[in-house]
Amino acid sequence: MNNEEKICSIIEQAEEVLQPYYKKNKDIAYQNFKKVMTAFTNHSVTESDFSGTTGYGYDDVGRDKLEEIYRDVFKAEDALVRTQIISGTHAISLVLLSLLKHGDELLYITGTPYDTLEKVIGTTEDDIGSLKEMGVEFNTVDLKDDQFDTKSILSSITEKTKMIGIQRSRGYSHRKSMNVGQIEAVIQTIKEKHPNIIVFVDNCYGEFAETREPLEAGADIMAGSLIKNPGGGIAKMGGYVAGREKLVERVSYRLTVPGVGKEMGASLNALTDMYQGFFMAPHTVMESINGALLMSYVFEKLNMKPSPRYTEERTDLIQSVSFNNEEEMITFTQMIQKASPVNARFMPIPDLIPGYQNPVIMAAGTFVQGASLELSADGPIRAPYTVYAQGGLHIEHVKYALEMSLTELSEKNMIEL
Ligand SMILES: *Cc1c(COP(=O)(O)O)cnc(C)c1O
């Protein structure tokens, strides 16, 4: 067999082995879709809901209705779903900056949070607008053997501890993602002793990966990005915060103005995409996860180290693969770019970007800038040369990109087929 035939055969074999996993994911997608559909029906979504507002954005019926739909699907008391939330980091920082005050402590129990939060938390008092500058203390408890370190968590909590932070997805780290069941167990343990602590979940990359979301597991508030899962690949911008009513109210005062909160904020012409995206999201998230399974299986067969393995339960989109060196990592990432529908002729190279500590290489030939529910791959250049791949609006794209990267990697003698 020549290389092309070998690659086809590996992928064909993978798809056969993965059938039972695909089937399970189809069931999850259907359950989630039913939740979304039920909310659309209960709120009688009509064409006029998409018309949007301008200026102050008073009486934006479509915007308010979409927030009620998010609220219902995510089992929240209230939700804020806005184009004015510019990113996942923004959604998360709204929660942190509005609910924590001078003298409070934020305790993250999934280790160091996502890189872009560093400036929000602040490392020195000179970090303008940070929690640090506000006088909020920050501490972390690392996972232990890929589990919440319950003993350490309980002994770390003091009277100052106002909020517990949980990052569901691993982000750019080697730890495991924490599934909703694990999150539920740790929240129960914490709340038994400390019923008043606010539990916040960074839900980025997690929405619709399982049939339950963190609020159903006892979290008080959660946040995410609309250019990831819940935007379904269609929303052009935005973020959401969902949770307890009183908390979401505070967050809304931080987003807009005290006393105004959710009442204002024009949606212009963004609502159609936001609605359609949420409608698509349960399906698209599973396409993306199925693509991740395909990558995981294939790279394992080629003696690379994928994480999670294809056999592991999923709670987010992230698929990492660790390569042997920088060159392999860069080659793979460049091929993801080359296999993109947009900007395929650009060649990504590692570079320093704000918010990240190491040079990062990023492949993202996406329709929506930075949208990582679309196929993208990135990673900070540091041993063990791990690329974090995520997204794929449909599995055909992931398969295509995989074929292209395996071809290039084998031509450069970086893998043996
Ligand atoms: C993507 C992500 C963020 C930040 O979202 P941006 O939209 O990139 O600002 C935060 N936490 C996790 C776990 C993420 O995956």
In SS3 terms, 274-292 reads as HHHHHHHHHHHHHHHHHHH
In this prediction, residue 176 carries a pLDDT of 96
Burial of 412 (0-12, 13-18, 19+ CB in 10 A): exposed
pLDDT digits (tens, 9 = 90+) for 116-165: 899 999 998 899 999 999 999 999 999 999 999 999 999 999 999 999 99
Q: What gap in Å lies between CA 149 and CA 206, rounded to an integer? A: 21
Q: At residue 331, what is the residue type?
A: T
Nearest ligand 1 atom to alpha carbon 89: 9
Q: What does the pLDDT look like over 67-93, one tens digit per residue?
A: 999 999 999 999 999 999 999 999 999
Predicted confidence (pLDDT) at residue 355 exceeds the cutoff of 90: no
pTM flag (> 0.95): yes
Nearest-CA residue for ligand 1 atom 5 is 88
Q: Can you tell me which atom of ligand 1 is nearest the CA of 239?
A: 7
Cis, bond preceding 308 (omega within 30 deg of 0) = yes
Of 402, 86, 398, 42, residue with least CA distance to 227: 86
> Ligand 1, residues 85, 92, 112, 116: which to mutate, most atoms within 8 A of Cβ?
116
Q: Is the CB of 21 under 6 A from ligand 1?
A: no
pLDDT, position 124: 87
For the stretch 226-252, pLDDT in tens is 999 999 999 999 999 999 999 999 999
Q: Whose CA is nearest to atom 2 of ligand 1?
A: 204
Based on C-alpha coordinates, what's the Rg of the chain?
Answer: 21
The candidate with the shortest Cα–Cα distance to 244, out of 222, 262, 226, is: 222
Q: Are 54 and 268 in contact (CB under 8 A)?
A: yes
Q: Residue 74: what are its φ and ψ, rounded to 5°?
A: -90, 5
CB of 390 closer than 6 angstroms to any ligand 1 atom: no
Residue 356 pLDDT more than 80? no
| Average pLDDT value for the chain | 97
pLDDT in tens, 5-21: 999 999 999 999 999 99
- In angstroms, what is the span from residue 353 Cα to ligand 1's centroid? 15
Give the position, in ligand 1's atom list, of the atom nearest the Cα of 90: 9
pLDDT for res 215: 98
pLDDT average, residue stretch 95-109: 98
Per-residue pLDDT tens digits for 274-294: 999 999 999 999 999 999 999
- In this predicted structure, the answer to whether residue 354 has a pLDDT above a threshold of 80 is no
Which of 386, 378, 347 has its CA nearest to residue 174?
386
Whether the per-residue pLDDT at 373 is higher than 70: the answer is: yes
110 Cβ below 6 A of ligand 1: no
205 lines ligand 1 (CB under 6 A): yes
50 within 8 A of 268, measured Cβ to Cβ: no
Strand pairing of 305-307 and 239-243? unpaired
Q: What is the pLDDT of residue 357?
A: 78
Residue 138: burial class (beta carbons within 10 Å; 0-12, 13-18, 19+): buried
The fraction of the chain above a pLDDT of 90, given in percent, is: 95
Contact criterion met (CB below 8 Å) for 388 and 321? no
In short, whether 376's Cβ falls inside 6 Å of ligand 1 is: no
Mutate which of 115, 203, 204 for ligand 1? The one with the most ligand atoms within 8 Å of its CB, which is 204
